[in-house]
Amino acid sequence: MALLHSLRLPVLNACLIQPNDSAATVRATARTLAAATGTKTLMIRSDGGVEKMQYYRGGNTFPIKHIGPRAAQLQAAGRAVILAEPTNRFTNRLTVLIRMDRAGPNRPGSLTLEALGPGYDVADLTRGQIPPQVTAHLDDVDFAHYQPPRWHEWKIIGDQCPGGEGARRTRRLERLASQTLTDGGHLRGEADAEHAETWLRQRGYLHLFGPQPTREALAKRARRLFDDAFFLARSQPNRNWHCLATAFSVFQDPRSIYWDLVDGERKYAATTPAPPRPEERVV
């Protein structure tokens, strides 16, 4: 986030709390950020350095008085806490996951954009197992030399699976019920997709159930996203990177932000290989 901000790309206002920072530091940080952004709630994200595949699902927003206890739980697990200004993850207009693959031996460079429309959020693409509505792809991208793409070079593909949108919406509601709304205290007990849909409709969050003009929205921003991706690739501190990813959101305001920048080789811890089977030991 700091790198994105230094490059003058839009990000949320945020503060970093280290695992060994005191409770007083957490309280003071939360009050300062809330005052600076004029809010009474803050978003909690976290960072554990090199992550395991299962880690805290952040991005929910809580009242200031709840920040301290929740931060303490994350700190006790050895995680840094990222406090950010709040967003409404139920009213997003567009969500895009951006993947940059650097050229290598017998492998051309490429850029891939995966997009979801109104009512979805970044976590649906990154860990919600929800397939994109639209994918845009560019081949033969040289991230060392800028060459703007021509329109005919984009391969824009929509999800044509019969019943795909209904299944996608149901998966989104299930994830909201089991993770987002439960973690935020909005739903309790064994909540399911029906409970999540009722909760959204009662509050007028109808974006998920309306038109999904994702293809047009992505095509409109594809060139800008390409330029930003190239800029990020050139600015990445790890000069030997192979695969980078970032996420981009358009809010209802409308306001757009980038969330973070991930180096694929440094994101997750290597898994321990399974012990060899007896016959392999003999060999």
Among candidate residues 92, 190, 102, 172, the one with its CA nearest the CA of residue 141: 102
- The pTM for the full model equals 0.88
Q: At 276, is the pLDDT very low, low, confident or very high (cuts 50, 70, 90)?
A: very low
Which pLDDT score is estimated for 53? Answer: 53
Phi, psi torsion values for 64, nearest 5 degrees: -55, -40
- What is the mean pLDDT of the segment spanning 76-102? 95
- What is the mean pLDDT of the segment spanning 38-66? 82
- Whole-angstrom distance, CA of residue 58 vs CA of residue 180: 9
Q: At 50, is the pLDDT very low, low, confident or very high (cuts 50, 70, 90)?
A: low
Q: Which residue matches tokens 């974006």?
A: 207
What is the bridge-based pairing of β-strands 80-84 and 14-17? antiparallel
122-126, 255-259, 264-268: the lowest-pLDDT one: 264-268
Which pLDDT score is estimated for 280? Answer: 40
